[in-house]
Amino acid sequence: MKILIIEDEKPLSDSIVEYLKTEGHNCEAVYYYADAIEKIELYEYDCAIVDINLPDGSGLDIIKRIKIKLNSLGIVIISGRNSVENRIEGLEIGADHYLTKPFHLAELNAHLKSINRRINFSGQNEILVNEIKILPDEHRAFVKEQELKLTRKEYDLLLFFISNKNRVITKISLAEYLWGDFMDTADSFDFIYTHIKNLRKKLLKLGCEDYIQTVYGVGYKFDLTIG
């Protein structure tokens, strides 16, 4: 995907670019409102990552301009503001996702993947990863054409793993992606472990490779290089 990153904090912008480049995206970064408007008028993008607070303007205005030009463009807001009103306002003017800073790059990546699916595969849409096939519109997953019977959480977990395949996924980002703000007091990550154990068991039962690797003390990795 061609992605425009509008974020005034250069180090953060750099991190995003670096992470997304390894995913094969074509990224461009701008740091000012005026530059963002210029880029939007001149070039075509699939997706934009927009910070609300820019030194010379509001990211919300940029989103409004984008939506006038190309309504299908995917938009992820990244903002330091965590109030309900900000969130609602951002989503109302057409943003796909609203991430509060600080966010996990893995989470941003997962959201971009879902935008990518919406834009590029509208209609017949399936994700193929070795022997695993996922139909995101129907929330169904298959291993070697046999259907996997997954709970809602297990399905989300699998999708998150596949979105961030071959990467280290910290248990913190996993927990926040799956449980949102309610996880802020997690005393233990036992229940994440339970879900992952169940998912792995179901995958193995249908003859799938054991891709889910534990990274000791840190989290997990969906490692496709294993097979």
Residues interacting with another protein, by CB under 8 A?
A: 9, 11-12, 15-16, 18-19, 22, 53, 78-84, 100-106, 153, 167-168, 170, 172-173, 179, 182, 184-188, 190-191, 194-195, 217-218
CB of 15 closer than 8 Å to CB of 24: no
Nearer to another protein, 106 or 208 (CB): 106
CB of 16 to another protein, least distance (A): 7
Closer to another protein by Cβ: residue 192 or 208: 192
Nearer to another protein, 130 or 198 (CB): 198
**Cβ 22 to another protein shortest distance, Å:** 8
Q: Can you give the chain as a three-state secondary structure string?
A: CEEEEECCCHHHHHHHHHHHHCCCCEEEEECCHHHHHHHHHHCCCCEEEEECEECCEEHHHHHHHHHHHCCCCEEEEEECCCCHHHHHHHHHCCCCEEEECCCCHHHHHHHHHHHHHHHHCCCCCCEEECCEEEECCCCEEEECCEEECCCHHHHHHHHHHHHCCCCEEEHHHHHHHHHHHHHHHCCCCHHHHHHHHHHHHHHHHCCCCCCEEEECCCEEEECCCCC
Q: How far is the CB of 150 from another protein (least distance, A)?
A: 15
- Closest separation between CB of residue 54 and another protein, Å? 11
Rounded least distance, CB 21 to another protein, Å: 11
Least gap, CB of 121 to another protein (angstroms): 26
Nearer to another protein, 71 or 201 (CB): 201
For another protein, the closer of residues 125 and 198 by Cβ is 198
The C-alpha atoms of residue 206 and residue 199 are separated, in whole angstroms, by 11
Find out whether 183 and 176 touch, Cβ atoms under 8 Å. yes
Nearer to another protein, 47 or 73 (CB): 47
Query: Cα 173 to chain center, whole Å?
Result: 11
